[in-house]
Amino acid sequence: MSEKLTFRRDFAVSPDAAALMAVPVLVGLLGALFGAAATRGLARARWLFLAAIIALGFAVASQSLRVFSSTMPLAAMGLLASAAAVRESLISRGKLLAATLGFVTLCVL
């Protein structure tokens, strides 16, 4: 029955569990915003769209905890911005190095 709680009530009952749900979504939102700040053109629009969808998912999830499970995969996609930034910064040094370190960054996240 805890799925039907609002985020505020869940936080009052169990702050640790509420933080475990909220923090990854907010980190994914920050990642998507970083992706928007680091790119231009159509790529920026895509990152901003993803950030808007994650923010909307977080707002809806605040009213019903059940929505967090649908928002988490989108938040995970926001973390790809840092891996893409590492890859882009290293592409001039060699594609293999850029791909390897981009993969390592993705695994660490």
Same domain assignment for residues 21 and 65: yes
Q: Which domain holds residue 87?
A: 81-109
Tens-digit pLDDT profile for residues 40-49: 999 899 999 9
Helical segments of 39-94, H only: 41-61, 68-78, 80-90
The model's pTM: 0.77
Same domain assignment for residues 49 and 98: no
Residue 72 corresponds to which tokens in the numbers above? 């988490």
Tens-digit pLDDT profile for residues 37-78: 988 999 899 999 999 999 999 998 888 877 778 888 899 888
Same domain assignment for residues 98 and 62: no
Same domain assignment for residues 72 and 85: no
Same domain assignment for residues 6 and 41: yes
Same domain assignment for residues 62 and 16: yes
Domain total for the chain?
Answer: 2
The Cα 30–Cα 35 span in angstroms is 9
